[in-house]
Amino acid sequence: IENVQALKEEFTTGYTVPIYAEFGDRFAIFAGGTKARLLAYRPYGMHAYYSSFATFAPRVAMRFWKAVIDGDGKAAADVVLRYDAPFFQRWSHAFWLATLECFGLAARHLRHPRVAITEAGMKDVAAFYRRLGLLNDKGEPV
């Protein structure tokens, strides 16, 4: 595979660990999705990950990365449990677009036949991010 230089990992350990065994010394393999994936694959050589939070709440991504660089597994796991776990439990394309709208980055609208989150649903999305401490009572990013 001469032209492959990197691989975005988004599979089970049963799939990814053998990829590390065969290609880990040749490919830059990075985590897609959750921060927990980076923690799971660090022993195999993973050094990078995608962060959904970098898009709308970069301080969360930076807090996690600082914990990783500092070797503070407990602090890194705390970020995963506090932010990633509830975020990805709610995950859907509609929720992602509602998130972007909530943070003033994009509109939540989807093309038919998909259904976007309603105005009432947007209040729930904003309340979710207030509970995470990422929006203030006025709905502004903190």
Using alpha carbons, list the distances in angstroms from residue 87 to 22, 35, 38, 66, 128: 33, 11, 17, 20, 9
Print pLDDT tens along the chain (142 aa). 677 788 899 888 899 999 999 988 888 899 887 899 999 999 998 988 989 999 999 999 999 999 999 999 999 999 999 999 999 999 999 999 999 999 999 999 999 999 999 999 999 999 999 999 999 999 999 9
- The amino acid at residue 93 is H
Q: Which residues contact 66 (CB under 8 A, 6 or more apart)?
A: none
pLDDT of residue 4: 78
How far apart are alpha carbons 57 and 39 in whole angstroms? 20
pLDDT of residue 115: 95
Residue length of the chain = 142
Model confidence over 98-134: pLDDT tens digits?
999 999 999 999 999 999 999 999 999 999 999 999 9
pLDDT of residue 2: 76
Q: pTM value?
A: 0.88
What angle do the packed helices 93-102 and 119-131 form, to 10 degrees? 70
pLDDT of residue 113: 94
Count the neighbouring beta carbons within 10 Å of the beta carbon of residue 130: 15
How far apart are alpha carbons 107 and 116 in whole angstroms? 10
